[in-house]
Amino acid sequence: MKRRQWVRCGVLAALGASGCNGGDTQPPGPPADVVPSGGAGQNWYFNNPLPTPLSVTVSDLSGRPVPGVVVMWTVESGGGAVSPVQSTTDQNGIASTSDSVGSSTIQRVSAAVDGVPSPASFNEIATSAPTSAAVDVKDDFFDPATTIVQVNGTVTWTFRGAISHTVTFTGGPDSGTPQASGTFGPITFTTVGSSDYHCKVHPAKMTGSVKVVH
């Protein structure tokens, strides 16, 4: 029986397969490294949550991802906050948290794992959100399709197409009769969040949104 097992393992080895002595099924070792895997270096606006979560990958000495590892998140400088402050790596060795920048230009966040000497580090940059924005109404799209202003900011639309369009918010402002020239606005946005709009002439393909931040 032992000879048959030895022959079988020899054949598998010759074919580059696994299945004897553990092969690729060996469990990962203890965590040895933690590195950023998402959300680093974002540019966003003061006192607002970053659009992309921060995430890290935890691996062992052989570079294999380690699941079930607790990661501690800390805002080292620049204000703001992370939530949660503690997360656990998934089967791919990845853990994440949501991050909100504060009122400082640069925010630094670290992600530490017990037993790993060097934490992962994230540097995020914050600026003031614009107080006004402009959108061109073209054939057949809004440019840009997504506009960002701070609360109580204004947006103005300029019609530049060869054919007529509208700027129509669901349950909100409406430029009215389709037009090919002139402007609509400025419209003031007083509530944080997103407001979607469309062209009544081309509602299926001509859409846009205004994102209002703090």
- Is residue 35 scored above 70 in pLDDT? yes
| Fold classified for 33-127 | Immunoglobulin-like (2.60.40)
The DSSP code for 179 is B
Q: What is the DSSP string of 109-124?
A: EEEE-TT-SS-EEEEE
**pLDDT exceeds cutoff 80 at 125:** yes
Q: Residue 24: phi, psi to the nearest 5?
A: -85, 5
| Cut 0.85: pTM above it | no
% pLDDT > 70, the chain? 89
Pairing of strands 94-100, 81-83: antiparallel
What would the two tokens of residue 184 be? 């609509």
CB 34 within 8 A of CB 71: yes
* Residue ranges per structural domain of the chain: 33-127, 132-213
Q: What is the pLDDT of residues 173-195, one digit of tens each?
A: 999 999 999 999 999 999 999 99
Tokens of 177: 């009769």
CATH number among 3.40.50.10240, 3.40.50.740, 3.40.640.10, 2.60.40.420, domain 132-213 = 2.60.40.420
Topology agreement, domain 33-127 and domain 132-213 = yes
Distance from C-alpha of 188 to C-alpha of 149, rounded to nearest angstrom: 10
